[in-house]
């Protein structure tokens, strides 16, 4: 789409998925877009995540609505930009025993279960959906609305599409340091002026977002650190994403009476607040995580006990040894502390900060960007 002469101009700060989805949403409206990223390429949470477009665990009400709108937008975007690697494969949450199975049944009896595409499956039915599951589990929750994208490819694929369609400039290696009404100055001294500046600086709480965040009487955001790993290609093809029963301890959709009846986690899982999420990449490798660290300063190293736990849990469910691990990393996301779904604030006239979607940012970014321009 070419720019309309005299079209509005939007400056986007941040090259992660949230900033890039704002660039996509702005171009969709015919606005001219300039996008700045302080690193040579996206390096934050957006390229470190599972790439799960995760509807199944969202809280009922506005959070589920936002995720479902975003899920629709992901499918539309993928039709134009196949490089994002969108697969509408759904997910299976696998129960280890009776208490987890009861919680699955409780969640799937709720009125919004059909919107999530929930279906309770016994072991044979779960294996029919995903034949790679040859291990031990008691049953499963299928969520047909969940989907997968390729996190390492998403920002660059979207940018290539934007660059090809015109009206878009990508400025890597530029850190926005000062905001003034309708403008930002980058570290080279260049000013970038627009009708709207959208700052999607992720978990960077000093720098350009710092003065606004420091002035908030109650911190609206906190950071969360997660550990992840990726294996070499797994021999079998996984037809869905996989979660273990521990995931129901973290996702708000399962905040139901049955959650209080779940037994204790293993000591390593409890200490690192682990849940198993497992996604097969297009090359066959398995992205496996995660853990949750809330107290800063975060460790600068990774905890091997967490990886041992996640590996053992994955092997129990798959009934097969995992291939060797090829990569380990940690990532940090920005999460709102209150009831809002993400943090949006005008920090100067014509300058908005959008961050804090937490562990749902990859999922919800297309819908959040649409809300900014709505």
Ligand X SMILES: Cc1cc2nc3c(=O)[nH]c(=O)nc-3n(C[C@H](O)[C@H](O)[C@H](O)COP(=O)(O)OP(=O)(O)OC[C@H]3O[C@@H](n4cnc5c(N)ncnc54)[C@H](O)[C@@H]3O)c2cc1C
**Nearest one of 81, 171, 72 to 115, comparing CA atoms:** 72
Judged by CB under 6 A, does residue 13 bind ligand X?
yes
Distances (CA, A) of 28 to 1, 128, 366: 7, 41, 12
| Position among 28, 29, 43, 105 found at the interface with ligand X (CB under 6 A) | 43
Quote the crossing angle between the two packed helices 361-373 and 17-28, to the nearest 10°.
40
Judged by CB under 6 A, does residue 91 bind ligand X?
no
> By C-beta, is 99 or 253 nearer to ligand X?
253
In the complex, minimum distance from the CB of residue 342 to ligand X, in angstroms, rounded to a whole number: 9
Judged by CB under 6 A, does residue 57 bind ligand X?
no
**Nearest one of 65, 76, 35, 45 to 371, comparing CA atoms:** 65
Quickly count helices (H) and strands (E) in the chain.
Answer: 11, 19
| Position among 201, 272, 291, 372 found at the interface with ligand X (CB under 6 A) | 201
Judged by CB under 6 A, does residue 14 bind ligand X?
yes
> By C-beta, is 91 or 99 nearer to ligand X?
91
Rounded Cα distance between 209 and 346, Å, is 11
Q: In this structure, are residues 129 and 92 in contact, taking their beta carbons and an 8 Å threshold?
A: yes
User: What tokens appear for 57 in the block?
Assistant: 């665990």
> By C-beta, is 142 or 200 nearer to ligand X?
200
Q: Contact region for ligand X (CB under 6 A) — 50-58, 109-117, 291-299, 308-316?
A: 50-58
Residue 243's SS3 state is strand
Pairing mode, strands 139-143 and 118-121: antiparallel
Judged by CB under 6 A, does residue 50 bind ligand X?
yes
> By C-beta, is 170 or 234 nearer to ligand X?
170
Judged by CB under 6 A, does residue 247 bind ligand X?
no
Q: Can you say whether the dihedral through the CA atoms of 158, 163, 166, 168 is positive or negative? A: positive
> By C-beta, is 23 or 120 nearer to ligand X?
23
Q: Contact region for ligand X (CB under 6 A) — 27-35, 78-86, 304-312, 358-366?
A: 358-366
Judged by CB under 6 A, does residue 18 bind ligand X?
yes
Number of residues in contact with ligand X, rule: CB under 6 A? 46
| Position among 9, 38, 212, 281 found at the interface with ligand X (CB under 6 A) | 38
Judged by CB under 6 A, does residue 52 bind ligand X?
yes
> By C-beta, is 5 or 40 nearer to ligand X?
40
Pairing mode, strands 176-180 and 183-186: antiparallel
Strand 32-37's sheet: what is its strand order?
168-172, 32-37, 9-13, 196-199, 351-355, 343-348
- Interface with ligand X by CB under 6 A: which residues? 13-19, 36-39, 42-46, 48-52, 54, 175-176, 200-204, 207-208, 226, 228, 289-290, 331-333, 355, 357-363
């Amino acid at each position: 789409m070419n720019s309309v002469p005299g079209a509005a101009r939007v400056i986007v700060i941040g090259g992660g998925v949230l900033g890039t989805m704002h660039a996509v949403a702005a171009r969709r409206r015919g606005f001219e877009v300039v996008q700045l990223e302080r690193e040579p390429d996206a390096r934050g949470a957006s390229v470190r995540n599972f790439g799960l477009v995760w509807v199944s665990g969202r809280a009922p009400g506005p959070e589920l609505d936002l995720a479902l709108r975003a899920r629709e937008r992901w499918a539309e975007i993928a039709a134009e930009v196949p490089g994002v690697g969108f697969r509408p494969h759904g997910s299976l949450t696998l129960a280890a025993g009776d208490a987890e199975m009861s919680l699955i049944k409780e969640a799937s009896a709720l009125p919004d279960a059909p919107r999530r595409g929930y279906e309770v499956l016994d072991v044979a039915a779960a294996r029919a959906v995903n034949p790679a599951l040859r291990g031990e589990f008691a049953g499963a929750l299928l969520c047909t609305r969940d989907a997968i994208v390729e996190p390492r490819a998403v920002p660059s694929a979207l940018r290539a599409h934007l660059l090809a369609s015109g009206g878009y400039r990508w400025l890597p290696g530029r850190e926005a340091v000062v905001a003034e009404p309708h403008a930002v100055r980058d570290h080279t001294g260049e000013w970038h002026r627009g009708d709207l500046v959208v700052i999607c600086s992720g978990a960077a709480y000093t720098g350009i977002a710092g003065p606004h965040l420091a002035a908030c009487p109650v911190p609206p955001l906190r950071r969360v650190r997660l550990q992840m790993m990726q294996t070499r290609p797994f021999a079998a093809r996984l037809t869905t994403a996989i979660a273990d029963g521990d995931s129901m301890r973290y996702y708000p959709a399962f905040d139901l009476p049955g959650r209080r009846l779940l037994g204790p986690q293993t000591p390593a899982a409890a200490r690192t607040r682990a849940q198993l999420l497992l996604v097969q990449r297009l090359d066959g490798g398995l992205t496996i995580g995660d853990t949750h660290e809330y107290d800063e300063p975060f460790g600068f190293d990774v905890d091997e006990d967490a990886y041992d736990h996640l590996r053992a849990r994955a092997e129990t469910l798959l009934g097969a040894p995992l291939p060797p691990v090829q990569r380990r990393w940690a990532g940090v996301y920005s999460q709102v502390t209150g009831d809002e779904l993400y943090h949006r604030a005008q920090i100067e006239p014509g300058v908005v900060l959008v961050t804090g979607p937490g562990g749902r940012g990859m999922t919800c970014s297309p819908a959040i960007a649409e809300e900014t321009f709505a």
